[in-house]
Structure 1
Amino acid sequence: MKVIVDTSVWSLALRRNPPQDEIPSVKVLRDLIADGRVVLLGAIRQEVLSGVRHTEQFIRLRDYLRAFPDLTIETKDYELAAEFFNTCRRNGIQGSNIDFLICAVAHNRGYTILTTDNDFQNFQSCIPIILY
Protein backbone atom coordinates (compact mmCIF):
# COMPACT_ATOMS: atom_id res chain seq x y z
CA MET A 1 0.00 0.00 0.00
CA LYS A 2 1.22 3.50 -0.85
CA VAL A 3 1.81 6.03 1.92
CA ILE A 4 1.52 9.80 1.77
CA VAL A 5 4.34 11.18 3.89
CA ASP A 6 3.41 14.44 5.61
CA THR A 7 5.69 17.47 5.91
CA SER A 8 6.25 16.76 9.61
CA VAL A 9 8.08 13.51 8.80
CA TRP A 10 10.05 14.92 5.87
CA SER A 11 11.20 17.79 8.10
CA LEU A 12 12.51 15.40 10.73
CA ALA A 13 14.26 13.26 8.14
CA LEU A 14 15.87 16.12 6.25
CA ARG A 15 17.21 18.20 9.13
CA ARG A 16 20.86 19.04 8.91
CA ASN A 17 21.96 17.88 12.38
CA PRO A 18 19.39 15.45 13.75
CA PRO A 19 19.85 12.22 15.65
CA GLN A 20 17.81 10.61 12.86
CA ASP A 21 18.41 7.01 13.90
CA GLU A 22 16.49 7.64 17.11
CA ILE A 23 13.32 8.91 15.41
CA PRO A 24 10.86 6.08 14.64
CA SER A 25 9.02 7.94 11.86
CA VAL A 26 12.32 8.57 10.06
CA LYS A 27 13.13 4.86 10.18
CA VAL A 28 9.70 4.11 8.74
CA LEU A 29 10.24 6.70 5.99
CA ARG A 30 13.55 5.08 5.01
CA ASP A 31 11.86 1.68 4.77
CA LEU A 32 9.00 3.10 2.71
CA ILE A 33 11.46 4.78 0.33
CA ALA A 34 13.37 1.51 -0.06
CA ASP A 35 10.09 -0.29 -0.84
CA GLY A 36 8.98 2.36 -3.35
CA ARG A 37 5.82 3.12 -1.38
CA VAL A 38 6.24 6.87 -0.75
CA VAL A 39 3.77 9.28 -2.32
CA LEU A 40 4.48 13.01 -2.48
CA LEU A 41 1.98 15.79 -3.09
CA GLY A 42 3.12 19.05 -4.65
CA ALA A 43 1.76 20.96 -1.65
CA ILE A 44 3.95 18.90 0.69
CA ARG A 45 6.96 19.49 -1.56
CA GLN A 46 6.27 23.23 -1.33
CA GLU A 47 5.97 23.11 2.48
CA VAL A 48 9.24 21.18 2.83
CA LEU A 49 11.13 23.57 0.55
CA SER A 50 9.66 26.74 2.04
CA GLY A 51 11.81 28.60 4.52
CA VAL A 52 15.13 27.10 3.47
CA ARG A 53 17.50 30.02 3.98
CA HIS A 54 20.55 29.06 1.96
CA THR A 55 20.39 28.64 -1.81
CA GLU A 56 22.82 25.69 -1.83
CA GLN A 57 20.77 23.84 0.77
CA PHE A 58 17.56 24.61 -1.13
CA ILE A 59 19.03 23.22 -4.35
CA ARG A 60 20.26 20.02 -2.63
CA LEU A 61 16.88 19.48 -0.99
CA ARG A 62 14.97 20.30 -4.19
CA ASP A 63 17.09 17.89 -6.20
CA TYR A 64 16.68 15.14 -3.59
CA LEU A 65 12.90 15.50 -3.59
CA ARG A 66 12.78 15.35 -7.39
CA ALA A 67 13.24 11.60 -7.05
CA PHE A 68 9.60 11.54 -5.86
CA PRO A 69 7.15 12.61 -8.56
CA ASP A 70 4.11 14.61 -7.50
CA LEU A 71 0.87 12.68 -7.41
CA THR A 72 -1.74 14.18 -9.71
CA ILE A 73 -4.56 15.72 -7.71
CA GLU A 74 -8.02 15.63 -9.22
CA THR A 75 -11.14 17.75 -8.81
CA LYS A 76 -12.74 15.04 -6.66
CA ASP A 77 -9.80 15.32 -4.23
CA TYR A 78 -10.34 19.05 -3.74
CA GLU A 79 -14.08 18.55 -3.33
CA LEU A 80 -13.61 15.82 -0.73
CA ALA A 81 -11.02 17.95 1.08
CA ALA A 82 -13.63 20.70 1.42
CA GLU A 83 -16.18 18.16 2.69
CA PHE A 84 -13.66 16.86 5.24
CA PHE A 85 -12.88 20.42 6.34
CA ASN A 86 -16.59 21.15 6.82
CA THR A 87 -17.24 17.88 8.66
CA CYS A 88 -14.39 18.42 11.07
CA ARG A 89 -15.27 22.06 11.61
CA ARG A 90 -18.88 21.11 12.49
CA ASN A 91 -17.37 18.83 15.12
CA GLY A 92 -15.11 21.54 16.54
CA ILE A 93 -11.91 20.30 14.92
CA GLN A 94 -9.74 22.76 13.01
CA GLY A 95 -7.14 21.97 10.39
CA SER A 96 -5.33 23.41 7.40
CA ASN A 97 -6.54 23.11 3.84
CA ILE A 98 -3.38 21.19 2.93
CA ASP A 99 -3.97 18.69 5.75
CA PHE A 100 -7.50 18.04 4.53
CA LEU A 101 -6.23 17.70 0.96
CA ILE A 102 -3.79 15.04 2.19
CA CYS A 103 -6.69 13.26 3.90
CA ALA A 104 -8.87 13.42 0.79
CA VAL A 105 -6.17 12.15 -1.56
CA ALA A 106 -5.34 9.30 0.83
CA HIS A 107 -9.00 8.35 1.23
CA ASN A 108 -9.79 8.48 -2.49
CA ARG A 109 -6.87 6.21 -3.33
CA GLY A 110 -6.87 3.90 -0.31
CA TYR A 111 -3.48 5.19 0.89
CA THR A 112 -2.32 5.62 4.45
CA ILE A 113 -0.77 8.77 5.93
CA LEU A 114 2.57 8.88 7.77
CA THR A 115 2.70 11.92 10.04
CA THR A 116 3.85 13.09 13.43
CA ASP A 117 1.19 15.81 13.44
CA ASN A 118 -1.41 15.02 16.12
CA ASP A 119 -4.07 16.95 14.21
CA PHE A 120 -4.52 13.92 11.97
CA GLN A 121 -5.54 11.81 14.97
CA ASN A 122 -8.22 14.40 15.71
CA PHE A 123 -9.39 14.30 12.09
CA GLN A 124 -9.63 10.52 12.29
CA SER A 125 -12.47 10.84 14.82
CA CYS A 126 -14.64 12.51 12.14
CA ILE A 127 -13.40 11.41 8.74
CA PRO A 128 -12.35 8.03 7.28
CA ILE A 129 -8.55 8.19 7.07
CA ILE A 130 -5.94 5.59 7.93
CA LEU A 131 -2.75 6.60 9.72
CA TYR A 132 0.39 4.54 9.30
Structure 2
Amino acid sequence: MKVIVDTSVWSLALRRNYKVDDSPYVAVFKELITDGRVALLGAVRQEILSGIRDVNQYNRLKNYLRAFSNLELNIEDYELASEFYNICRSNGIQGANTDFLICSAAARRNYTIISTDKDFENFSQHIPITLFQF
Protein backbone atom coordinates (compact mmCIF):
# COMPACT_ATOMS: atom_id res chain seq x y z
CA MET A 1 0.00 0.00 0.00
CA LYS A 2 1.21 3.51 -0.81
CA VAL A 3 1.89 6.01 1.94
CA ILE A 4 1.52 9.77 1.56
CA VAL A 5 4.49 11.32 3.31
CA ASP A 6 3.77 14.68 4.92
CA THR A 7 6.24 17.57 4.75
CA SER A 8 7.12 17.08 8.42
CA VAL A 9 8.63 13.64 7.73
CA TRP A 10 10.43 14.78 4.58
CA SER A 11 11.93 17.69 6.53
CA LEU A 12 13.06 15.43 9.34
CA ALA A 13 14.64 12.95 6.94
CA LEU A 14 16.36 15.55 4.79
CA ARG A 15 18.18 17.31 7.62
CA ARG A 16 21.89 17.11 6.93
CA ASN A 17 22.95 16.39 10.50
CA TYR A 18 20.39 13.68 11.15
CA LYS A 19 20.99 9.98 11.72
CA VAL A 20 18.34 7.55 10.54
CA ASP A 21 18.52 5.66 13.83
CA ASP A 22 17.49 8.79 15.75
CA SER A 23 13.85 8.70 14.63
CA PRO A 24 11.39 5.92 13.87
CA TYR A 25 9.85 8.24 11.26
CA VAL A 26 13.08 8.49 9.32
CA ALA A 27 13.73 4.76 9.53
CA VAL A 28 10.24 3.98 8.21
CA PHE A 29 10.57 6.66 5.53
CA LYS A 30 13.78 5.03 4.30
CA GLU A 31 11.99 1.66 4.10
CA LEU A 32 9.08 3.22 2.22
CA ILE A 33 11.46 4.67 -0.35
CA THR A 34 13.23 1.34 -0.76
CA ASP A 35 9.88 -0.44 -1.22
CA GLY A 36 8.63 2.16 -3.73
CA ARG A 37 5.66 3.03 -1.52
CA VAL A 38 6.14 6.81 -1.16
CA ALA A 39 3.40 9.01 -2.58
CA LEU A 40 4.26 12.69 -3.02
CA LEU A 41 1.74 15.46 -3.58
CA GLY A 42 2.81 18.49 -5.60
CA ALA A 43 1.77 20.75 -2.73
CA VAL A 44 4.10 18.84 -0.39
CA ARG A 45 6.90 19.13 -2.96
CA GLN A 46 6.32 22.89 -2.96
CA GLU A 47 6.43 23.05 0.85
CA ILE A 48 9.68 21.07 0.96
CA LEU A 49 11.36 23.36 -1.56
CA SER A 50 10.02 26.64 -0.20
CA GLY A 51 12.30 28.78 1.91
CA ILE A 52 15.64 27.31 0.81
CA ARG A 53 17.90 30.32 0.39
CA ASP A 54 20.99 28.65 -1.02
CA VAL A 55 20.51 28.16 -4.77
CA ASN A 56 22.82 25.15 -4.97
CA GLN A 57 21.10 23.40 -2.08
CA TYR A 58 17.71 24.21 -3.63
CA ASN A 59 18.75 22.74 -6.98
CA ARG A 60 20.19 19.58 -5.36
CA LEU A 61 16.98 19.00 -3.43
CA LYS A 62 14.79 19.78 -6.44
CA ASN A 63 16.73 17.24 -8.51
CA TYR A 64 16.54 14.65 -5.72
CA LEU A 65 12.77 15.07 -5.43
CA ARG A 66 12.33 14.58 -9.18
CA ALA A 67 12.88 10.87 -8.53
CA PHE A 68 9.39 10.92 -6.96
CA SER A 69 6.50 11.50 -9.35
CA ASN A 70 3.60 13.65 -8.21
CA LEU A 71 0.45 11.91 -7.11
CA GLU A 72 -2.03 13.31 -9.61
CA LEU A 73 -5.04 15.00 -8.03
CA ASN A 74 -8.39 15.63 -9.66
CA ILE A 75 -11.54 17.63 -9.02
CA GLU A 76 -12.90 15.09 -6.56
CA ASP A 77 -9.73 15.35 -4.44
CA TYR A 78 -10.12 19.11 -4.10
CA GLU A 79 -13.85 18.85 -3.40
CA LEU A 80 -13.32 16.19 -0.74
CA ALA A 81 -10.52 18.27 0.81
CA SER A 82 -12.95 21.16 1.21
CA GLU A 83 -15.55 18.81 2.73
CA PHE A 84 -12.96 17.52 5.19
CA TYR A 85 -11.99 21.08 6.05
CA ASN A 86 -15.64 21.96 6.71
CA ILE A 87 -16.24 18.84 8.82
CA CYS A 88 -13.17 19.45 10.96
CA ARG A 89 -13.87 23.17 11.24
CA SER A 90 -17.42 22.46 12.43
CA ASN A 91 -15.86 20.28 15.13
CA GLY A 92 -13.48 23.03 16.25
CA ILE A 93 -10.42 21.65 14.47
CA GLN A 94 -8.28 23.89 12.28
CA GLY A 95 -5.99 22.69 9.54
CA ALA A 96 -4.01 23.78 6.52
CA ASN A 97 -5.30 23.34 2.99
CA THR A 98 -2.34 21.12 2.11
CA ASP A 99 -3.13 18.86 5.06
CA PHE A 100 -6.70 18.40 3.86
CA LEU A 101 -5.47 17.67 0.32
CA ILE A 102 -3.27 14.96 1.83
CA CYS A 103 -6.29 13.61 3.70
CA SER A 104 -8.57 13.59 0.67
CA ALA A 105 -5.98 11.99 -1.61
CA ALA A 106 -5.30 9.30 0.99
CA ALA A 107 -8.98 8.63 1.72
CA ARG A 108 -9.96 8.35 -1.95
CA ARG A 109 -7.12 5.93 -2.71
CA ASN A 110 -7.03 3.99 0.57
CA TYR A 111 -3.49 5.21 1.20
CA THR A 112 -1.96 5.70 4.63
CA ILE A 113 -0.55 9.01 5.88
CA ILE A 114 2.70 9.37 7.81
CA SER A 115 3.31 12.63 9.62
CA THR A 116 4.88 13.96 12.79
CA ASP A 117 2.14 16.62 12.81
CA LYS A 118 -0.39 15.80 15.54
CA ASP A 119 -3.10 17.65 13.58
CA PHE A 120 -3.63 14.48 11.55
CA GLU A 121 -4.55 12.60 14.73
CA ASN A 122 -7.19 15.26 15.41
CA PHE A 123 -8.48 15.04 11.83
CA SER A 124 -8.74 11.25 12.07
CA GLN A 125 -11.35 11.62 14.82
CA HIS A 126 -13.76 13.16 12.30
CA ILE A 127 -12.75 12.11 8.79
CA PRO A 128 -11.93 8.68 7.31
CA ILE A 129 -8.15 8.69 7.10
CA THR A 130 -5.66 6.04 8.12
CA LEU A 131 -2.47 7.06 9.86
CA PHE A 132 0.71 5.02 9.67
CA GLN A 133 1.08 2.84 12.75
CA PHE A 134 4.50 1.98 14.10
Taking the aligned partners of 1:20 and 1:113, their CA distance within structure 2 comes to 20
Residues 112 and 130 in structure 1, CA contact (< 8 A), matched pair in contact too: yes
Residue 61 (str. 1) matches residue 70 (str. 2): no
What's the counterpart of residue 31 of structure 1? 31
1:49-72 CA-to-partner distances (Å, cap 9, x unmatched) read 001110110011101100000011
- Residue identity in the other structure for 1:34: T
Q: Which runs of 4+ in 1 moved over 3 A?
A: none
What's the counterpart of residue 92 of structure 1? 92
Q: How many residues align?
A: 132
1:5-61 CA-to-partner distances (Å, cap 9, x unmatched) read 000000000012123321110000000000000000000000000011101100111
1:76-127 CA-to-partner distances (Å, cap 9, x unmatched) read 0000000000000000000001100100000000000010000000000100
Structure 2: any 5+ residue segments left out of the alignment? Answer: none
- Residue identity in the other structure for 2:24: P
Structure 1: any 5+ residue segments left out of the alignment? Answer: none
Q: Secondary structure at the match of 1:93?
A: coil
What's the counterpart of residue 111 of structure 1? 111
What's the counterpart of residue 49 of structure 1? 49
Residues 41 and 71 in structure 1, CA contact (< 8 A), matched pair in contact too: yes
What's the counterpart of residue 12 of structure 1? 12
Q: TM-score, normalised by structure 2?
A: 0.97
Residues 10 and 48 in structure 1, CA contact (< 8 A), matched pair in contact too: yes
Taking the aligned partners of 1:108 and 1:18, their CA distance within structure 2 comes to 33
Deviates more, 1:13-22 or 1:87-96: 13-22
What's the counterpart of residue 128 of structure 1? 128
Residues 112 and 129 in structure 1, CA contact (< 8 A), matched pair in contact too: yes
Q: In angstroms, what is the RMSD of aligned CA positions?
A: 0.6
Q: TM-score, normalised by structure 1?
A: 0.98
Percent identity, aligned pairs only?
Answer: 63
